[in-house]
Copies of this chain bind each other. A is one copy, B any other.
Amino acid sequence: MKLPIALSNRHIHLGQKDIEVLFGDGAKLTHFKDLSQPGQCACEEKVDVVGPKGEIKGVRVLGPARGETQLEISLSDGFKLGVKAPIKDSGDLEGTPGVKIVGPKGEVELERGVIVASRHIHMHTDDAEKFNVEDNQKVKIRTSGQRAVVFENVLVRVSPKFALEMHVDVEEGNAAGVRNGDLVELINE
């Protein structure tokens, strides 16, 4: 059975306190466009990220605001910044490195929060039944074409709030030669 894949470019989720430091007292995020997951959006706001070895400008902020700021980058971004970001599930920020975030009104020196997000699948509860998988299960995903790969250890996350979609970072997507919306095959062995 197949599902759509999407490539996540580097982005940042911000805590409300950091939003106000970066964008000014009382600032709130401004909706730019909806993302595929219900309630999630890309925001007008962007920030610069400064590490010990380099910087990356114009990193998109995603909304809504979260409890804690989390920067999601690729391994290549980490080399460029000079930050050794571990491959982690979103929200699992224990032991992750920090970095400096620069906005138009101020800077935040993050103590932690930089990760390379583990590839994962969002599934609505109804889709999980169809695919016969459970929340937190690991599956394999096969892509097709010239750069066909099988991704192992892909985490399935099930919720009535999710829409069916696999998320990989840009390096994973390019390594597999896939583009947003391409269909990939779930292998549940």
Contact = CB atoms under 8 A, between A and B. Distances in A.
Interface of A: 74-76, 87, 118-119, 146-153, 168-172, 174-177
Given A146-B153, A149-B150, A174 B76 contact: yes
Copies in the complex: 2
Contact of A150 (B74, B87, B150, B174): B150
Which of A118, A150, A175 has the most CB atoms of chain B within a 10 A radius of its CB?
A175
A146 B148 CA distance: 19
A31 to B, nearest CB: 26
A169 B174 CA distance: 10
B75 A174 contact: yes
A141 to B, nearest CB: 10
B175 A171 contact: yes
